[in-house]
Amino acid sequence: MTPTNTGDTSDPAAAFATSAAPADVVRRQYLASAAGDLEALRATLAADVEWTEMAGFPLAGTYRTPNGVTANVMEQLGKEWDNWTAHDDTYVVDGENVVVLARYTAVNKATRKPINVRVAHHFVVRGGRIVRFEQFVDTALVREAMTDAG
């Protein structure tokens, strides 16, 4: 699928910023998350987004609406972790489906234990917005970092 862009294609940054190509939309979401720019992150999400954090993950559940996602996921991660970052490295794109292999890094604020765990994210992008997200992660490693040895 060729991305449709009505902007000035002579400026690659402007083209990326307005691209409706599924991988570009997902990449903008990761960049906004890493920068802590929740407004930009919400701009990548459809009004009726369904965002699912895996069972066993501390924030497990399905969240809806851009504000619901950022309030219940990103803002909560910021309360419990220092420097929570999803490092996206491999994209597999099939039409509106984007699977990203990534890594979470952070330090738990309560225990001071770090994490460095591989994850997979499945996004569905339609009309230039993320309509669905599902997380796959080794939840035991995340919970272990949140638990004091004792």
- The confidence band for 4, taking pLDDT boundaries of 50, 70 and 90, is very low
How many angstroms separate the CA atoms of 99 and 121, rounded?
6
pLDDT 10s digits, 103-128: 999 999 999 999 999 999 999 999 99
Cβ 103 vs Cβ 119: under 8 Å = yes
Name beta bridge partners: 53: 61
* Backbone conformation region of residue 95, classed left if phi is above 0, alpha if psi is from -120 to 50, else beta: left
pLDDT tens-digit series, residues 45-96: 999 999 999 999 999 999 999 999 999 999 999 999 999 999 999 999 999 9
User: CA 12 to CA 130: how far, in whole Å?
Assistant: 22
pTM as predicted: 0.89
Q: Within a 10 A sphere around the Cβ of 112, how many other Cβ atoms?
A: 10
Give the pLDDT confidence of 8-53 residue by residue, as tens digits: 457 888 889 889 999 999 999 999 999 999 999 999 999 999 999 9
